[in-house]
Amino acid sequence: MRRTHGLSPPPAFAPIHTLSAPELKARLAQGTPPHLVDVRTEEEHALARIEGARLLDQAYHDELLGLDRGTEIVFHCHHGIRSLQAAEYFRRHGFTNLYNLDGGIEAWSVLVDPGVPRY
């Protein structure tokens, strides 16, 4: 029998969930929508945006870190890569209710709102 000397394994991180554009549309229409975080550049955000999304600048970053760790947060970027990295960052900071928009704002433009410019 192996002795652990009272040490327990580190806690497992909560999963980062994937959310489709139509699923996000439904979540945003609910009474208490999730925090929707845009991790793209200011220029990209100015070009095309999802209504209600906030650009992740330093002030918003600090605000998010002050939230309850169970707060529902959805991250998005252009195609879903940068937003997944941002979700990983917040997961490492103890957040447990994280989502990544599958296909990013590109999927939103194609599947939900063709009025959002594609680039």
Q: Is 104 helix (H, G, I), strand (E, B) or coil?
A: helix
Establish whether 49 is a catalytic residue: no
Give me the catalytic one of 50, 77, 84, 101: 77
**Global confidence as pTM:** 0.88
- Average pLDDT, integer, range 91-104: 97
First-to-last CA distance in the chain? Answer: 59
Task: Give the pLDDT score at 5.
Answer: 56
Task: Give the pLDDT score at 8.
Answer: 54
Residues in the chain: 119
What are 14-55's pLDDT values in tens digits?
899 999 999 999 999 998 899 999 999 999 999 999 999 999
The DSSP-derived string for 50-76 is: -TT-EE--HHHHHHHHTS-TT--EEEE
Residue bearing tokens 């959002």: 116
Provide the mean pLDDT of the chain. 92
The residue ranges of every structural domain in the chain are 24-111
Task: Give the pLDDT score at 11.
Answer: 58
Task: Give the pLDDT score at 113.
Answer: 97
- Is pLDDT at 76 greater than 60 in this prediction? yes
Type and span of the H or E element at 42: helix 42-47
- Average pLDDT, integer, range 89-100: 97
Residue 5, C-beta contacts closer than 8 angstroms, at least 6 positions apart: none
Residue bearing tokens 């489709």: 20
Task: Give the pLDDT score at 13.
Answer: 78
Is the domain covering 24-111 a CATH 3.30.300.30 domain? no
